[in-house]
Structure 1
Amino acid sequence: MFAAPLGLCGIVYVLADGFDLGVGILSLAAPREVERLAMIEGLEPIWDGNETWLVMGAALLWAAFPAAFAVLLSAFYLPVMAMLFALILRGVAIAFRGNAERFRRAWDVVFGAGSVLAALAQGMILGGLINGVSVHDGRFAGSATDVLSVLGLLCGVGLMGGYALLGAGWLIWRSEGTTRTFAREGGHAALIVTTAMLVVVSLWTALVDPRIAERWFGWPTILWLAPVPMLAMLASAATWFSLWGESRVRPLLLGVVIFLCGFAGLAVSLWPYAIPHSVTIWQAASDPQSLRFIGFGLIIVLPVVLAYQANAYWVFRRSAQTTPEGYES
Structure 2
Amino acid sequence: VMGVVSLWTVIGLPAVAHRWFGSGDLVWFLPVPVLVLVCVWGIFHTVRHQHEATPFLLTLALCFLGYTGLIISIWPNIVPPSLTIWDASSSPSSQLFALVGTVIVLPIILVYNGLQYRVFRGKVREGDAGYR
TM over 0.5: yes
Q: CA deviation at 1:289?
A: 2.8
Q: Matched residues in 2 for 1:260 and 1:278: separation?
A: 25
Q: Residues 302, 317 of structure 1: CA spacing in aligned structure 2 closer, same or farther, 3 A cutoff?
A: farther
- The structure with more helix, counted as a fraction of residues: 1
Any residues of structure 2 matched to 1:192-211 within 5 Å, and which?
197-211=1-15
Q: Which residue of 1 aligns with 2:37?
A: 233
Q: CA deviation at 1:202?
A: 0.5
Runs of at least 5 residues in structure 2 that lack an aligned partner in the other structure: none
Q: Which moved more, 1:305-314 or 1:225-234?
A: 305-314
Q: Matched residues in 1 for 2:76 and 2:122: separation?
A: 39
Q: Which residue of 2 aligns with 1:278?
A: 82
Q: CA deviation at 1:313?
A: 6.7
Q: Residues 288, 232 of structure 1: CA spacing in aligned structure 2 closer, same or farther, 3 A cutoff?
A: closer
| Fraction of identical pairs, as percent | 34
Letter in 2 for 1:258: L
Q: TM-score, normalised by structure 2?
A: 0.76
Q: TM-score, normalised by structure 1?
A: 0.34
Q: CA deviation at 1:200?
A: 0.8
Q: Which residue of 1 aligns with 2:28?
A: 224
Give the number of the structure whose alpha-carbon radius of gyration is greater. Answer: 2
Q: Residues 209, 300 of structure 1: CA spacing in aligned structure 2 closer, same or farther, 3 A cutoff?
A: same
Q: CA deviation at 1:265?
A: 0.7
Structure 2 residue 118 is the aligned partner of structure 1 residue 299: no
Runs of at least 5 residues in structure 1 that lack an aligned partner in the other structure: 1-196
Give the CA RMSD over aligned residues: 3.0
Q: Matched residues in 2 for 1:256 and 1:317: separation?
A: 28
Q: CA deviation at 1:246?
A: 5.1
Q: Residues 289, 226 of structure 1: CA spacing in aligned structure 2 closer, same or farther, 3 A cutoff?
A: closer
SS of the equivalent of 1:274 reads strand
Q: Matched residues in 2 for 1:313 and 1:262: separation?
A: 32
Structure 2 residue 97 is the aligned partner of structure 1 residue 289: no
Q: Residues 241, 275 of structure 1: CA spacing in aligned structure 2 closer, same or farther, 3 A cutoff?
A: same
Q: Which residue of 2 aligns with 1:214?
A: 18
Q: Residues 229, 279 of structure 1: CA spacing in aligned structure 2 closer, same or farther, 3 A cutoff?
A: same
Any residues of structure 2 matched to 1:86-97 within 5 Å, and which?
none
Q: CA deviation at 1:306?
A: 4.0
Q: Matched residues in 1 for 2:116 and 2:76: separation?
A: 35
Q: Residues 245, 283 of structure 1: CA spacing in aligned structure 2 closer, same or farther, 3 A cutoff?
A: same
Any residues of structure 2 matched to 1:135-174 within 5 Å, and which?
none
Taking CA–CA contacts closer than 8 Å with sequence separation of 6 or more, which of the two structures ends up with the larger relative contact order? 1
Q: Which moved more, 1:263-272 or 1:274-283?
A: 274-283
SS of the equivalent of 2:102 reads helix
Q: CA deviation at 1:251?
A: 1.4
Letter in 2 for 1:260: F
Q: Matched residues in 2 for 1:276 and 1:307: separation?
A: 40
Q: CA deviation at 1:229?
A: 0.9
